[in-house]
């Protein structure tokens, strides 16, 4: 037994080290791109182009780490609010799985809905330990999304909540929840088409 | 030296072995500025956030506007004359990051309570404060929050640091013009940065 262990310790660690060295030597890396042409005129042209990409008018920023939302116009913040974003947990059931994360990137407000009604997706039933409804009418639930919901695409919304004590925490299924006063103000100020930047 | 362990000091020596001068992402000559603006423009055209590693801070941007800034308290970086643009290949945490996988049989009957327990959410507090960032062009960065948290985690951090150092050294030996660095920041910033960074994210450094 001792001999076997000694043999194992003599062979395996050097082999591991050697193979990791080989892997390091063989891992392909991307070449470094050549430097772009440089002149003051060119820099000024690029800076103008960069400036043109910055959002015009109102835009919304969402920090999913800090659970904060800002409505801004230029550099000026018109609204700063605590929000709740995706919990990051994964739900598994009968071979299906869902990850509850708030998507990141650039979105825009596609529409606003007053007194929204929630059409419960499959995971909402499974999460409650219920079976999926046969009748589609059983999926609709009133008064859970607050006064307004703003669609940002891919089925995600900025909406209200019944659970104000959860604001500032990662607890949602991917949507962005806001407290009632902030939601009302955001709905009033941000027109349809407002860009939403989530990071 | 704060950390006397050989493993911890080895990569630092490796980085310092490369000639150190101004960091590439710093603004300076016309060529440097042109490269910096060109790369910022390229990243601003993407839909997702990107980061820029500079002398005093790591800056997250979207559409050419700064959205978050993480101050660097100390950095040891190998030099490169001009700013570079690459993308994140992998981020490796020193300690395993928490994942919450809930099987339907385990969930509570009250839907409001299913997400109220801190055990059932993954927040920025669960993110590691020490991690390695590998870029597709071969460059490697070791980012740490520099807080003390037990012998085992200390060893894990040292091991990761050593791996980063070896990767850097081997790529240098292959003749690749790669960059390497050790970046220290406060633990909260490091966790937030780990949260923000995703594979395929653009990086200027």
**A92/B104 touch (CB, cutoff 8 Å), yes or no:** yes
Distance CA B83, CA B81 (A): 7
Task: Give the pair of three-digit tokens for residue B98.
Answer: 């928490």
Nearest chain B Cα distance for residue A106, angstroms: 5
Give, in order, the Cα–Cα distances in Å from B192 to each of A44, A101, B47, B51.
33, 16, 20, 13
> Which residue among B60, B63, B170 sits closest to A25, beta carbon to beta carbon?
B170
3-class DSSP assignment, residue B186: coil
Select the residue from B29, B32, B40, B41 to test the A interface by mutation, using most A Cβ atoms within 10 A: B41
Cβ A88–B34 below 8 Å, yes or no? no
Closest CA to B185 of B140, B145, B125, B127: B145
Q: Say whether A92 and B120 touch across the interface (CB within 8 A).
A: no
Q: Which residues of chain B have pLDDT under 50?
A: 1-4, 6-7, 19-22, 113-116
- Please tell me the predicted confidence (pLDDT) of residue B100: 84
Q: Write out chain A residues lying below 8 Å of B107, CB-based.
A: 91, 127-129
Under a CB-based contact definition with an 8 Å cutoff, are residues A9 and A17 in contact?
no
| Predicted pLDDT at B26 | 55
pLDDT at B170: 85
Please state the ipTM of this predicted complex: 0.84
Task: Give the model confidence (pLDDT) of B142-198 as tens digits.
Answer: 999 877 667 778 888 888 998 898 888 888 888 888 888 999 999 999 999 999 999
Smallest Cα–Cα separation from A46: which of B205, B81, B35? Answer: B35
Residue of A nearest to B110 (CA): A128
Give, in degrees to the nearest 5, the angle at Cα B197 between B171 and A149: 160
The residue of chain A nearest to residue B104, with distances taken between CA atoms, is A93
Nearest by Cα to A115 from A140, A152, A165, A149: A149
Q: For residue B67, list chain A residues with Cβ-Cβ distance below 8 A.
A: 61, 63, 197, 199
C-alpha span between B120 and A177 (Å, rounded): 18
> What residues form DSSP beta bridges with A156?
A153
Give how far B163 is from chain A: nearest CA, Å.
10
Sort out which chain B residues have CB atoms less than 8 A from A42's CB and list them: 34
Q: State phi, psi for B70 to the nearest 5 degrees.
A: -115, 115
Task: Confirm if B15 and B183 have CB atoms less than 8 A apart.
Answer: no
Give the burial class of B186: count Cβ atoms within 10 A of its Cβ; 0-12 exposed, 13-18 middle, 19 or more buried. middle
CA dist B154 and B35 (Å) reads 39
Q: Which residues of A touch B195 (CB under 8 A)?
A: 64-65
**Nearest Cα to Cα of residue A174 among A198, A190, A148:** A198
Nearest in space to A178 (alpha carbons), one of A153, A161, A163, A157: A161
CB within 8 Å: B100 and A88: yes
Q: How far apart are CA B52 and CA B41, in angstroms?
A: 12
Burial class of residue A49 in the structure, from the number of CB atoms within 10 Å of its CB (0-12 exposed, 13-18 middle, 19+ buried)? middle
Q: CB–CB of B85/B147 below 8 Å? A: no
Domains and their CATH numbers in chain A: 55-198 (2.40.440.10)
Please state, in angstroms and as integers, the Cα–Cα distance from residue A31 to each residue in B28, B134, B175, B176, following that order. 24, 14, 12, 9
Residue B116 with chain A: CB contacts under 8 Å: 163, 166, 171
Q: Which segments of chain A have a pLDDT < 50?
A: none
> B68, A63: Cβ pair inside 8 Å?
yes
Interface A–B counts its CB contacts (< 8 A) at 158
Cβ pair A63:B111 closer than 8 A: no
Is there a contact between B123 and A170 (Cβ–Cβ < 8 Å)?
A: yes
By the 10 Å C-beta count (0-12 exposed, 13-18 middle, 19+ buried), B14 is classed as buried
Q: How far is A152 from chain B (nearest CA, A)?
A: 14
Residue of B25, B48, B121 to mutate, interface with A, max A Cβ within 10 Å: B121
Question: How many Å lie between the alpha carbon of B59 and the closest alpha carbon of chain A?
Answer: 13
* Per-residue burial over A149-158, b = 16 or more CB atoms within 10 Å of its CB, e = otherwise: bbbbeeebbb
Contact B103 A90 (CB under 8 A): no
């Amino acid at each position: 037994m001792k001999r076997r262990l000694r043999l194992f310790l003599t062979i395996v660690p050097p082999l591991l080290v050697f193979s990791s060295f080989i892997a390091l030597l063989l891992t392909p890396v991307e070449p470094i791109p050549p430097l772009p042409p440089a002149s003051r005129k060119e820099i000024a042209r690029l800076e103008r182009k960069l400036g043109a990409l910055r959002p015009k008018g109102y835009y919304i920023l969402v920090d999913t780490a800090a659970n904060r939302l800002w409505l801004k116009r230029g550099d000026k913040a018109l609204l700063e609010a605590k929000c709740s974003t995706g919990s990051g947990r994964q739900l598994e059931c009968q071979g299906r799985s869902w990850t509850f994360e708030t998507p990141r990137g650039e979105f825009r407000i596609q529409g606003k809905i007053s007194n929204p009604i929630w059409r419960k997706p499959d995971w909402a039933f499974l999460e409650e330990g219920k079976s999926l409804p046969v009748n589609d009418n059983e999926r609709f639930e009133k008064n859970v999304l607050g006064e307004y919901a703003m669609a940002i695409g891919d089925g995600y919304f900025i909406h209200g909540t019944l659970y104000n004590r959860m604001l500032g925490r990662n607890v949602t299924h991917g949507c962005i929840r806001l407290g009632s006063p902030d939601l009302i103000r955001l709905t009033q100020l941000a027109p349809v088409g407002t860009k939403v930047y989530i990071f | 030296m704060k950390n006397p362990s050989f493993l911890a000091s080895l990569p630092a020596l490796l980085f310092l072995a490369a000639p150190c001068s101004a960091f590439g992402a710093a603004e300076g000559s016309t060529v440097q500025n042109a490269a910096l603006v060109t790369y910022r423009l390229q990243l601003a055209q993407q839909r997702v956030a990107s980061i820029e590693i500079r002398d005093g801070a790591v800056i997250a941007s979207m559409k050419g506007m700064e959205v978050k800034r993480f101050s660097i308290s100390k950095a040891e970086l190998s030099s490169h004359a001009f700013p570079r643009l690459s993308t994140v290949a992998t981020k490796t945490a020193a300690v395993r990051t928490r994942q919450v996988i809930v099987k339907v049989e385990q969930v509570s009957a009250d839907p409001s309570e299913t997400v109220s327990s801190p055990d059932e959410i993954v927040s920025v507090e669960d993110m590691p404060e020490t991690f390695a960032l590998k870029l597709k062009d071969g460059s490697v960065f070791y980012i740490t929050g520099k807080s003390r948290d037990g012998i085992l985690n200390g060893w894990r951090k040292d091991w990761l640091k050593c791996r980063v150092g070896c990767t850097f050294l081997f790529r240098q030996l292959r003749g690749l013009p790669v960059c390497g660095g050790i970046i220290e920041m406060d633990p909260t910033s490091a966790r937030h940065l780990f949260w923000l960074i995703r594979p395929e994210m653009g990086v200027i450094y």
